[in-house]
């Protein structure tokens, strides 16, 4: 049975209770790792400079506390998997289905406009999930 590492638990603990509830339910049956919850100013600006985020500090849902966004990867994971859209699509589909079951409204960074297609996005942030306002 999948389970979070202590590192994933610590990162998830910085997130909104709905994201914690969602990801804890997902990991019961789908192996995932939490790579980011709350981001402070230095970490957010670094992500922006490196092109990993389009948002400056204060513009990202990662910047609130608790974080209204979480970054998740399927596990196991290696560096080549960053380019494997199918790997992320499968995970995202599962997470979105569980969110729907729990009544949690989220948006995935692989489908910002929520039309169920990744091909029309100009910026793919495949690990990113955020609460809808």
Q: What is the DSSP letter of 94?
A: H
Q: What Cα–Cα distance (Å) separates residue 14 from each residue in 70, 77, 93?
A: 9, 23, 24
Whether the per-residue pLDDT at 85 is higher than 90: the answer is no
Higher-scoring residue by pLDDT: 81, 26: 26
Q: What is the mean pLDDT of the chain?
A: 95
| The pLDDT of residue 77 | 83
Walk me through the domains of the chain, giving residue ranges and CATH numbers: 6-131 (3.30.1380.10)
């Amino acid at each position: 049975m999948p389970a979070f590492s202590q590192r994933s638990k610590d990162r998830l603990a910085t997130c909104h209770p709905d994201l914690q509830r969602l990801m804890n339910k997902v990991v019961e049956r789908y192996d995932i790792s939490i790579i980011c919850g709350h981001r402070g100013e230095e970490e957010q600006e670094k992500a922006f400079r490196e092109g990993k985020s389009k948002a400056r500090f204060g513009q990202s849902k990662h910047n609130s506390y608790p974080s209204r966004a979480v970054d998740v990867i399927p596990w196991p994971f290696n560096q080549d998997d960053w380019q494997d859209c199918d790997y992320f699509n499968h995970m995202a589909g599962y997470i979105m289905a569980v969110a729907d079951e729990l009544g949690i409204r989220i948006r995935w960074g692989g489908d910002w406009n929520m039309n169920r297609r990744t091909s029309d996005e100009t910026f793919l942030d495949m690990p990113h999930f955020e609460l809808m306002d």
